[in-house]
Amino acid sequence: METVTLLGIDLGKHSFHVHAQSRTGHQVWRKKLNRSQLIETVANTPICRIVMESCSGAHFLARKFAQFGHDVRLIAPQYVKPFVKGNKNDFVDAEAICEAASRPAMRFAAARNEHQQTMSALHRTRDLLIRNRGSAHNQIHAYLVEFGIAISKGPAAIRKLPAVLEANELPPRLVALLEQLRNHIIYLNEQIQTIECELKALLSEDEAAQRLLTIPGIGPITASVLATQAGNVRQCRTSRDFAASLGLVPRQYSTGGKSTLLGISNAGTSTCGRCLSNVPEQS
């Protein structure tokens, strides 16, 4: 049997499909495994390169497999899709991951450590609470407008809400509902402040984030986002590569030697999900 040099793993919640490939690119074996079987199989596999899509759960497994001595790489899903052959299924996806990883110019993403994943989770929770707070604000405004009452926008309007309710005759049940929404906004504000305190505590333990805070215009939120998303910035050859990884590049539609630059977009996933997959990893 040929020696396994490359493992492509299609990740799932409970089942994982593994495609093992030799140096010449031929399939050695493929298996469907549960989580415990996957870890046991990888632990007993000779040192090789393991490649997965950079999605939920990939960073934990990347750290786990690296402890066994394997060379673990993560690829952005959009770079794997062109290598899917024929009809899509899990084993075909695993094989496509191997095909993508075999390309010499392929771009890989860095695996996050536990500190970065924790900070990312805090940011996503903070974003969720802010969205919920905005929804509650809008709901209060909508209910009052239905009864001919227009109040100003922003936190000041919520602080003045008791005076507005007292000055206008509204149904008692609606008043109770508005007060309940106001209390919910106050609770969300407290939760957001708690998370921001947690972020500042994590920043004090991160040397890179502390250096970011010395840059004019960079505050705790921006510094923590950059420290989370950047990971090991040694994978960026230049500052332009780093800017490109954050999506700060114009969309391009060039042909026939004529360059056409369009607007700047996120160039990929959302802020908390972006994983520096747009720059090549340095060897």
Q: How confident is the model at residue 282 (pLDDT cuts 50, 70, 90)?
A: very low
Q: What is the pLDDT of residue 235?
A: 66
Q: Decide if pLDDT at 195 tops 70.
A: yes
| Mean pLDDT (whole number) for 12-26 | 90
Neighbours of 3 (CB within 10 A): 10
pTM of the model: 0.75
Instruction: Return the axis-axis angle of helices 114-146 and 220-230, rounded to nearest 10°.
Output: 130
| Mean pLDDT (whole number) for 44-53 | 92
List the beta bridge partners of residue 49. 6, 71
Q: Decide if pLDDT at 155 tops 90.
A: no
Q: Decide if pLDDT at 124 tops 70.
A: yes
| Mean pLDDT (whole number) for 113-132 | 90
Q: Do residues 244 and 230 lie in contact, with contact meaning Cβ atoms separated by under 8 Å?
A: no
Q: Do residues 19 and 98 lie in contact, with contact meaning Cβ atoms separated by under 8 Å?
A: yes
- Round to whole Å and give the CA distance between 134 and 123: 17
Q: Is 27 helix (H, G, I), strand (E, B) or coil?
A: strand
- CA-based nearest residue to 198, from 140, 131, 121: 121
| Mean pLDDT (whole number) for 4-23 | 91
- Round to whole Å and give the CA distance between 41 and 51: 15
More confident residue, 127 or 267: 127
Q: Decide if pLDDT at 283 tops 60.
A: no
Q: Encode burial over 49-74: b for 16+ CB neighbours within 10 A, e otherwise.
A: bbbbbbeeebbebbeebeeeebebbb
More confident residue, 224 or 245: 224
Which H/E stretch holds residue 53?
strand 49-53
| Mean pLDDT (whole number) for 152-176 | 87
The 10s digit of each residue's pLDDT in 239-272 is: 777 777 666 777 777 887 788 877 776 544 444 3
